[in-house]
Structure 1
Amino acid sequence: MSKFILFCSSLIITFGTYSQEKKVISATRIDTSPKIDGVLDDNVWKNIQPAKNFFMLEPANEGVERETHRTEVKMAYDDKAVYLAAYMFDNEPSKVQRQFSQRDDIFVQADHFSFALNTYNDGINEVHFLVTSAGTIGDAIVSGNNFDFSYNVVWQCNVSFDEKGWYAEFKIPYNALRFPQAEEQNWSANFRRRITHLNETYVWNQIDRSVGLESQYNGLVEGIRNIDPPLRLTLYPFAQGLVQHFDNETTTNLTAGMDIKYGLSDAFTLDATLIPDFGQAAFDEVQLNLGPFEQVFDENRAFFTEGTDLFNKGGLFFSRRVGGAPSGDIGTVADNEEIIEEPSKVGLLNALKISGRTKGNLGVGFFNAVTERTEARIRNLDTDEVRNVLVEPLANYNIFVVDQLFNKNSSVTLINTNVTRDGSFRDANVTGFLYDVSNKANSWNFEGGARVSNVVENGVTTTGLRTNFEVRRTKGNFRYGIANYFANDTYDANDLGLNFRNNFNNVIGEASYEIFEPTKRFNKYRIDFRVAHRRLYKPSVQTENSYRLSSFFVTKERFAFGGNVNYNSKSQDYFEPRVAGRFVTFLPNIGGALWVSSDYRKKFAYDATIAGRNWFNEASVGDEQQSHIFLELSPRYRFSDKFLLIWRTELFNQYNNFGYIDDDGTDVFLGRREVRRIENSLQASYNFDSYKAIDLRFRNFWSTANYKDEVFYLLNDDGTRTETPYDIAANDPNRNFNIWNLDLSFRWRFSPGSEAILLYRNQAFNDEAPSTENYIGSLGKLFDNPTQHTLSLRIVYFIDVNNLKNSFKG
């Protein structure tokens, strides 16, 4: 470890800062704030000099803005907020596309203007405030070139049109920002304008897309000094009422709670959720899972997605662990007992996070959450007595992270995660040291780190180690890199993180060629080649070699297409058997995919994909050739700027597939099966304006695993298979899985930060139909089961304590 830290320190010393000529925008202090209506006729804007002379970013990465489409920006501030006026001139404003959408749904068929602000001028972390020509606002925190739109703060923006173009007016309160305490602020910014019908994007401070990160090209903001921001304390009280009907029973529930955001200083903010209720979170896209790993879902709870960039360092925080499945199990259930309640998740009592960054670019974050004691209930059928079984005690989840930025392109991070459960349950602790370092010219990047896990269970501590080292060329058209990923067989970060597997020592190399200037036919294209050598750490044996060639093209007419072809060598899968030390041999296979995506500017557009894979025959077993084919078609139609409909259908068939069905701790049984899958989904949105919308989200997933030939195998010690009889009466592996989800909602943002959501949810599930049942038959049986109907109303109201104080004074 000491050599590792010494290496990282030498990188920090060796690499100097990256500099370039930067534009400057002067922010003017004002006494009277403008009216945020998008009409730029306020007196405060008349005498402020604009930032102008924008450069082209896309499709070409050189040249200046069209004279007919000039952009100018003015900036002002007072002790409450930063204000921005953006002038998007257009000689044909009738051609400006104006598709309506709701918050954060920015990349629709509309022009948009973006204000990128970095209050630390660190070249890495910045916040984007965006608005479309239809008035939809969006905000995202950006790290590298990754946009996280789960970041949401309260600010205002409105737009207007006239015969010269369109205009946007911003007010960004200081309680929406984090910045160091200083007499004069050292901020940087950039402005971006997207003109959709021309397929062109312009930026104020020029960006070279072939070198470094776009956030490293910001211009400077000068003149913001001696600001005395007000108390940064905002409250989000909410109330939710729910009526649910399932299996002839109707239940009601009324809950209330509050989220709090408090500025501990100009740089640090406390976020807390008290008595949380996530009943209106989007449904999980559940599938039939035949593999050895758990099925995971996206995080849909706002508290765990907003402002978590520091906590996500190193991939040690998987927020679905907090309030997820219990860590314990019910144990043995007697023949005369039945389970009457088996909790699938643990209730969250409260959670808080503190995060911010100092003037010296040191980021500090602390996260804490407490989940409740959870029990299962089992009834004795003879005595009718009910016993409780503890499956999760009171638990505390903690994260602490420090992240030092330097040279405006590099960082080193120390992070610790800890889970402590009451009593003699399992406890866990993981510590990681990470680095992400680039040289002065931004032509090379070194990324890596080490993570140490300690799990305490039954009084025994198990320690594990995981490392990664990556080096890549990050400049020019031709780029390449190599990486090593290692974990020993005791590494386990799954109490608060997510790692599917350990015990690996893999080497991966890649190379790519990409254009940054359009050619005669293409606006963009990129070709990638990747090779991977995978092996176990213990014993040190090869598990697989793979080779992949992929491509991506976009024509002048915005028609995109691409594909890939890849080859996997003979592989040894040590996870499919579910028994330590055993492995299944899979033969070499080759596959590929082709996809197309049409121009979304047209009312009708579509996406389509076809993919397939073939395995080589295994004559010694007598199997027919294993293969699979995948088709996806997603047409979309924009009836108007207010109404959009998107349909998606996926078809998947896997022939002569084989996999795990059972084991007794020593012997492992496999079966040959045909796997089929059909997934249909619909998204329909009607936007009354940028504040009110009706949304329909529908998904139906059907899948079968059919062992129709009743061919079963006993796994041999060398990974091969031998046919064997298997009695499916005791454990029938055939599956017919069907799930239906429908969400219909009306969302109304009735004031900044406040909204009301009326949601109707309909869901049904069936896993009992015969595997021979086709899709239509399975769908019919699905609705023979009880269907759950839920109607809920949730109201969230934003309160700025400063406004309350002013009201009391009045």
Structure 2
Amino acid sequence: MLLFSLCSFAQERKEIIAKRISNPPKIDGILDDTVWQTLPAHGEFKMWRPGNEGEIPKDLQTEVKMAYDNKAVYFGVYLHDNQPDEILRQFSQRDDIFVQADFFSIAINTYNDGVNETRFFITSAGTIGDARADQFNQDFSYNVVFDAKVSFDDKGWYAEFKIPYNALRFPEVDIQDWSINFFRRSLSRNQTYTWNFIDNSKGQRTQYNGLVKGVHNIDPPTRLTFFPFIQGLVSHNDKKNKADFSAGMDVKYGLSDGFTLDATLIPDFGQAAFDEVRLNLGPFEQTFRENRQFFTEGTELFNKGNVFFSRRIGGRPSKSISDDDLATHEVAEDAPSKINLLNALKVSGRTSGKLGIGFLNAITEKTEIQITDTITGAHRKETVEPLTNYNVFVLDQQFNNNSSVSLINTNVTREGSDFRNGNVTGLVWNLTNKSNSYRLTGRSMVSQVNLPKDNIGGFASELDFDRIKGKFRYGFGHDLSNTTYDINDLGVSFRNNFNNFRINASYQIFEPKGWFNNYRVNIFTRHRRLYSPSIQTQNSLGADWFFMARNRFAFGGNTVYNSKNKNYFEPRVKGRFVTFNPSLGGRMFISSDYRKKFAYDVSVGTRQWFDDPQKIYRIEVSPRYRFSDKLLLIWRSEYFYRPDNFGYVDDNGTDVFLGKRDVVSLENSLNASYNFDPYKSINLRFRNFWSTADYTDNVFYLLNEDGSKSQTDYDISDDDPNRNFNIWNIDLSFNWRFAPGSEATLLYRNQIFNEDKLSTLDYGQSLDNLFTQQIQHTLSLRIVYFLDVNNLKRSSKG
């Protein structure tokens, strides 16, 4: 109680005066409009990175002017520079703003709560970006429609912004209480400046905003926008050709100035980026990042507590057909890899009392597969996923400009009595004292799984305490889960039944010192055990470090010692465990200056087990070359080798069989982009992943009750564990953002996949086999058009 009430977080807060205008400026980056000549300028920026010390030269001053009307907020920015020819101007596309270019950004907090911001960026090459941010995250998947342009002359460069009110959420009050900060990055000088001072040694940047004065009695237009799309697709493989046409629409409607409804009607995610699939030999499912825009944009509220994983929606069927479900002579079609999404909507926003409210609902269609009697030819249908409803509900109360308490509930309801349903409820907190020196975070979760013949409840908790101020910091934490905690209907939980503890301490600098702009060294220890029975499973002791030199050369790494590990997950049989000997390993990396045309990243790692022949070797190399401000090429190769590894092969419910294997993988990828300007680009994304698990030494073990293993004979004729896995993906696209919010994408996709038992093949031989497989060619064109109902109204009047 004393800890979280002592002291106040005092800070100097500048004020910017926003003026109401009647004649808005033309957004072209040239600040010659009459309105800019009459508004006050706000400057005197402060040093932020690499440190707070030092003065900004007079020839590098920045000035900002702010105006508004009933449609939008406007900013005019003067970025003086006595060396305009030295300003880096690499072209990129929307949201890709951390390239080799200067940028200017605006961070607006329309609730002045010290936590939530909407950020708008523009680079010196004219690329725009936007993000939703809180104290810990910056989410560039958030996209709204705004306009910004830049221009140059011999005194520097200039930026002009128009941010419509439908890009912001704010309380419905007569006098707005907003806060704001401005950021300018000068890449050639390796410095970033802020309008309102930010103390790097304590607190978060969101808590240092200045105040906005003068915004009152705004009457914003109706917030209703449509994003209709059409998509045509042609695909070809060795067996068939397919043509498809689809159309749908996304809708955004402002229920009030603070709340927005988003809906996707007849969705089509055919151009979502491919998943980076790998050979999975472990006990846990392989998951992939979300690539569907509806489930990535504006979802910060729904991510509270980490119990919502949107890839569950429209994922694999919840039921599989086994041999026990089939009669004699029956065969079943392969179940689809995904379920069609019928529609989805989300409502989110925040009240004037800083209470965030979020609701998300999605419905997936009933999915059946056909079962055929091979003797009679009779067919029947079997449901593998019924009509399913997904819900997420969140309440998030923020206070003290640095703290919050959230309640979140997820629910999955499947039609019919033969399928499982799931419900998870959690309380999440982030409590920081007023001086921003200590933080207490945690969550308490309860899960409920309703099975056809049983209901199973579970619980989990996390509690972390950290000192977050000054050069020396420390913290400790505790994570716990019982044996029945299960959130996997709409979340991801790889494991349960744990009772873990951690302690860490770190030292870092906030001002350049000697050769370095910054560095951080952290040491930690972890103690892991089961919740039930209460058994120690492993202890770890380690350190990690990061150093950034003044010339932007970076290096770092980590090392970790693991004690003997009783692994209760690898055997895949409840109550059984396999013992792994103690090990020591680590990783080192270097990264060169990206401002140069040629740059590189290199990483090497290894792990050695004691009294055990198994090892791990890993090397990753990623060179990049910027041929011009328009063309960038990045190559990445990663080689992984794990000889004499042993792991799960099979079990019969009682006996568990392990096998010795050599695991090798090689991943190559290429990302190339040619940007004609900030609106048009050609992008190539290529990935080839090859991996083998080689059991040809024919050494197999029977897992003993005490976790040890005894060599045994094992017949692989029925289920050969050897694996040769190879996958090839190419995406070649032309993207054209032909109007604000509107975009056309022409995509060619090439996919090949092969998995067999030929584990002794080398990479070249495996690649030859890969190209004998069926190749999937896909060509698609997708056009999305932005329609604002207010523009339609004006058109009808005109």
| Structure 1 residue 384, shift from structure 2 partner | 2.2
What is the match of residue 702 of structure 1?
690
| Structure 1 residue 334, shift from structure 2 partner | 5.0
What is the match of residue 677 of structure 1?
665
- Kept in 2, the 8 Å contact 1:27–1:76? The answer is yes
SS of 1:580's partner is: coil
Q: Could you tell me the TM-score, scaled by structure 2's length? A: 0.99
* Residues 770 and 334 of structure 1: CA distance in aligned 2, closer, same or farther (over 3 Å): farther
In structure 2, what is the Cα distance between the partners aligned to 1:466 and 1:111?
45
In structure 2, what is the Cα distance between the partners aligned to 1:459 and 1:119?
50
In structure 2, what is the Cα distance between the partners aligned to 1:174 and 1:760?
37
**1:471-506 deviation line (CA, Å, top 9, x unaligned):** 000000011000000000011011001110010000
User: RMSD over aligned Cα, in angstroms?
Assistant: 1.1
> Given the alignment of the two structures, is residue 633 of structure 1 paired with residue 621 of structure 2, yes or no?
yes
What is the match of residue 455 of structure 1?
449
* Equivalent of residue 735 in structure 2, options 722, 738, 747: 747
Q: Structure 1 stretches of 5 or more lacking a match?
A: 1-9, 619-624
What is the match of residue 466 of structure 1?
460
What is the match of residue 87 of structure 2?
96
| Structure 1 residue 380, shift from structure 2 partner | 2.0
In structure 2, what is the Cα distance between the partners aligned to 1:139 and 1:335?
59
* Equivalent of residue 770 in structure 1, options 736, 752, 758: 758
* Equivalent of residue 39 in structure 1, options 30, 38, 41: 30
* Equivalent of residue 82 in structure 1, options 70, 73, 91: 73
What is the match of residue 642 of structure 1?
630
> Given the alignment of the two structures, is residue 70 of structure 1 paired with residue 61 of structure 2, yes or no?
yes
In structure 1, what is the Cα distance between the partners aligned to 2:379 and 2:68?
65
In structure 2, what is the Cα distance between the partners aligned to 1:572 and 1:800?
59
| Structure 1 residue 20, shift from structure 2 partner | 1.6
SS of 2:756's partner is: coil
- Kept in 1, the 8 Å contact 2:4–2:432? The answer is no
What is the match of residue 652 of structure 2?
664
SS of 1:441's partner is: coil
Q: What are the residue-to-residue correspondences of 1:141-540 with 2, within 5 Å?
A: 141-332=132-323, 333-334=326-327, 336-424=329-417, 425-540=419-534
- The amino acid of 1:570's aligned partner reads K
| Structure 1 residue 408, shift from structure 2 partner | 0.1
Percent identical pairs in the alignment equals: 62
- Kept in 1, the 8 Å contact 2:466–2:475? The answer is yes
Residues 280-289 or 423-432, more deviating = 423-432
- Kept in 1, the 8 Å contact 2:721–2:757? The answer is no
* Residues 442 and 41 of structure 1: CA distance in aligned 2, closer, same or farther (over 3 Å): same
- Kept in 2, the 8 Å contact 1:53–1:64? The answer is no
**1:262-314 deviation line (CA, Å, top 9, x unaligned):** 00000000000000000000000000000000000000000000000000000
- Kept in 2, the 8 Å contact 1:341–1:378? The answer is no
- Kept in 2, the 8 Å contact 1:769–1:781? The answer is no
In structure 2, what is the Cα distance between the partners aligned to 1:662 and 1:459?
28
- Kept in 1, the 8 Å contact 2:228–2:249? The answer is yes
**1:658-716 deviation line (CA, Å, top 9, x unaligned):** 00000000000000000000000000000000000000000000000001210000000
| Structure 1 residue 385, shift from structure 2 partner | 2.3
**1:233-275 deviation line (CA, Å, top 9, x unaligned):** 0000000000011223100110000000000000000000000
- Kept in 1, the 8 Å contact 2:91–2:678? The answer is yes
- The amino acid of 2:381's aligned partner reads N
**1:746-772 deviation line (CA, Å, top 9, x unaligned):** 000000000000000000000015000
- The amino acid of 1:237's aligned partner reads P
SS of 2:299's partner is: coil
What is the match of residue 7 of structure 1?
none
- Kept in 2, the 8 Å contact 1:417–1:429? The answer is yes
**1:595-626 deviation line (CA, Å, top 9, x unaligned):** 000000000000000000000125xxxxxx11
* Residues 329 and 366 of structure 1: CA distance in aligned 2, closer, same or farther (over 3 Å): same
- The amino acid of 2:781's aligned partner reads L
- Kept in 2, the 8 Å contact 1:330–1:376? The answer is no
* Residues 334 and 781 of structure 1: CA distance in aligned 2, closer, same or farther (over 3 Å): farther
SS of 2:301's partner is: coil
Q: Structure 2 stretches of 5 or more lacking a match?
A: none
In structure 1, what is the Cα distance between the partners aligned to 2:379 and 2:190?
67
| Structure 1 residue 745, shift from structure 2 partner | 0.1
- The amino acid of 1:260's aligned partner reads V
| Structure 1 residue 13, shift from structure 2 partner | 8.2
> Given the alignment of the two structures, is residue 617 of structure 1 paired with residue 611 of structure 2, yes or no?
yes
In structure 2, what is the Cα distance between the partners aligned to 1:170 and 1:12?
43
- The amino acid of 1:433's aligned partner reads L
- The amino acid of 1:544's aligned partner reads Q
In structure 1, what is the Cα distance between the partners aligned to 2:132 and 2:616?
40
In structure 2, what is the Cα distance between the partners aligned to 1:145 and 1:279?
32
| Structure 1 residue 378, shift from structure 2 partner | 2.4
SS of 1:672's partner is: strand
> Given the alignment of the two structures, is residue 107 of structure 1 paired with residue 98 of structure 2, yes or no?
yes
In structure 2, what is the Cα distance between the partners aligned to 1:721 and 1:11?
54
What is the match of residue 134 of structure 1?
125
| Structure 1 residue 81, shift from structure 2 partner | 0.3
In structure 1, what is the Cα distance between the partners aligned to 2:8 and 2:680?
47
SS of 1:767's partner is: strand
In structure 2, what is the Cα distance between the partners aligned to 1:353 and 1:295?
27
SS of 2:761's partner is: coil
In structure 2, what is the Cα distance between the partners aligned to 1:341 and 1:587?
41
| Structure 1 residue 558, shift from structure 2 partner | 0.6
* Residues 287 and 34 of structure 1: CA distance in aligned 2, closer, same or farther (over 3 Å): same
In structure 2, what is the Cα distance between the partners aligned to 1:379 and 1:617?
54
In structure 1, what is the Cα distance between the partners aligned to 2:318 and 2:498?
25
**1:304-359 deviation line (CA, Å, top 9, x unaligned):** 00000000000010000000111111132456333334211111000000000011
SS of 1:434's partner is: strand
Moved beyond 4 Å, runs of 4+: 10-13
In structure 1, what is the Cα distance between the partners aligned to 2:218 and 2:535?
62
What is the match of residue 621 of structure 1?
none
| Structure 1 residue 540, shift from structure 2 partner | 0.2
